[in-house]
Structure 1
Amino acid sequence: MLLYAYRRYVFTLAVLLTYFLYAMLLTGRGMTQPHFMVDQTASNVKQASGLSLRKVSDFLAGRKYVVLTFDDGPYGYGVDEQIMATLQKHHARAMFFLVCSHINDANRDVLGKLEGAGHLIGNHSYDHLKLATLTSRPELQHEIDGCSQRLAQLTGRRPYYFRPPFGMTSPLVTQLAQAAGMKQLLWNANSQDSWMTQPEQILHWSLEQTEDQSVLLLHEKPATAAVLDDLLTRLEQRGFQFVLPDQLSDNTAIN
């Protein structure tokens, strides 16, 4: 009788302990928030090392992560603010790769609004040229470092991330970006909004291509702003959370 009671007690305790551990893993409660950095391909992000328990929790919960990036801003005419309002609604932060020649007196205040909302400002070149086709080193330096200097004048800090226009890079472009103190970031999920104008098309391709730890390419355009609320809602329903890569050293280990 005593042996039966003991076994029952041990079984009950094991069930309760298992339930507690599963609930903890499922919710991730009490765990350090994950940190991400750009991987060696410069096209997606990976969780930094030392987060094995978090990864188990994410797997059990179906929790996934995506970096939202917006190119070619500032757009002006209220589009930037519309995108920011939608991001705020979903408690999401994003990366905005700005073209310095697009910044003018009418929209320069957008930069302060972006930083104030916790978004990251990146360098998308000065004039949005195909940098890999340029052979003049001074011209490339103007496009890359010149834009960083301009952003520093406006925000008080140089950008850490650089994205070449059209994703067209080269060893020299990469070298000059690194010399300017930046890490290159491309993408591995494309909304196709650079040429598609229908919101439903943008929604389809964004959902089709976004996977766990993707970097999603979007643009500051009216059609993208129009579909963004629906897109973020659908991604959340699929278990996605919106994250930013850390500004970490290349020597930081990745699992």
Structure 2
Amino acid sequence: MTMFWYAYRSYVAVGGLLLTLFLYAMLLTAHGMERPQFVLDQASASVQHVNSRPWRTASDFLAGRKYMVLTFDDGPYGYGLDEQILDILRKHHARAVFFLVCSHINEANRDVLGKFERAGNLIGNHSYDHLKLDTLAQPELEQQIGGCSKRLAELTGRHPYYFRAPFGATSPLVAKVAQSYGMKQMLWNANSQDSWVTKPEQILQWSTEQPEDQSILLLHERPTTVAVLDQMLTQLEQRGFQFVLPDQLSDSSEIN
């Protein structure tokens, strides 16, 4: 009887250990789980999980897994730089939101819009002429915001869903005009500082130290940024980040 009891306890212990290891492995790998969905949280300029399940939350916590949105402003740049960004994103299985300035689009670079979309990226509206929009009256805003949306729709066959004001210079009126064209305003809560920093190593430092889980990172289509983009994404991945896009959901299902 004693030997049976010891054998029984051993089987239970081994079984419990194997079950624990299996569950832990499942949590770490997120095997069999649905792809996490995210939506834009305009109030905090971040993204948030949609209907995040406890199993997914536990898995992310145990694995140190974090999520972020990459965004690139001021494109298209041309001269092959856009394609360099796409190649680096593809290497890291990453996608991004490209906020384009419509006056930057010309015959030489217009084909890159299709390349952005075919690679699974999103195209956003960054105004027509990159002006400080919070200083403009509504008729001018209609041209800057609505005019750019119309131009992007002509080139891609769809109106953009996300809008970003140049310099982040927004206002209630700017947001209202963007909304009237069916767009959500996306700002950021992590900044690479690449709009003014000229040393790539400083851009790398800002870009890898600032982001936290569910951040939106502000980048620009510039050679100095592209010079460290591969290294940047590698370091972010080492911190546990995965690069995601916010889903384009209706008002009724979006966090505001």
* TM-score using structure 2 length: 0.96
- Asked if 1 retains the 8 angstrom alpha-carbon contact of 2:163 and 2:185, the reply is yes
Q: Deviation per CA, 1:58-117, whole angstroms, max 9, x where unpaired?
A: 110011111000000001111111111111111111110000011011111110111111
Shift of 1:238: 1.1
Amino acid at match of 2:138: R
Superposition map of 1:1-255 within 5 A:
1=2, 2-41=4-43, 43-134=45-136, 136-252=137-253
The percentage of counterpart residues that share the same residue type is 70
Cα separation, 1, equivalents of 2:180 and 2:146: 9
Where does structure 1 differ by over 6 angstroms across 4 or more consecutive aligned residues? none
Cα separation, 1, equivalents of 2:26 and 2:18: 12
Cα separation, 1, equivalents of 2:219 and 2:177: 25
- Asked if 1 retains the 8 angstrom alpha-carbon contact of 2:44 and 2:189, the reply is no
Shift of 1:250: 2.9
SS of the residue 1:95 aligns to: strand
After superposition, the Cα gap between the structure-2 partners of 1:54 and 1:108, relative to the gap in structure 1 and judged at 3 Å, is same
Cα separation, 1, equivalents of 2:192 and 2:144: 25
Shift of 1:50: 3.8
Structure 2 residues not aligned, in runs of 5+: none
- Asked if 1 retains the 8 angstrom alpha-carbon contact of 2:191 and 2:218, the reply is yes
Shift of 1:9: 1.6
Structure 1 residues not aligned, in runs of 5+: none
- Asked if 1 retains the 8 angstrom alpha-carbon contact of 2:39 and 2:254, the reply is no
Cα separation, 2, equivalents of 1:50 and 1:79: 37
Shift of 1:34: 0.4
- Asked if 2 retains the 8 angstrom alpha-carbon contact of 1:65 and 1:242, the reply is yes
Cα separation, 1, equivalents of 2:60 and 2:87: 28
- Asked if 2 retains the 8 angstrom alpha-carbon contact of 1:112 and 1:155, the reply is yes
Shift of 1:15: 1.1
Amino acid at match of 1:235: L
Q: Deviation per CA, 1:179-231, whole angstroms, max 9, x where unpaired?
A: 10001100000000001111101001111101111100000001111110110
Shift of 1:10: 1.5
Structure 1, 45-54 or 30-39: larger mean CA deviation: 45-54
Amino acid at match of 2:230: D
Cα separation, 2, equivalents of 1:145 and 1:54: 39
Cα separation, 1, equivalents of 2:178 and 2:169: 13
SS of the residue 1:147 aligns to: helix
SS of the residue 1:251 aligns to: helix
* TM-score using structure 1 length: 0.96
Shift of 1:42: 5.2
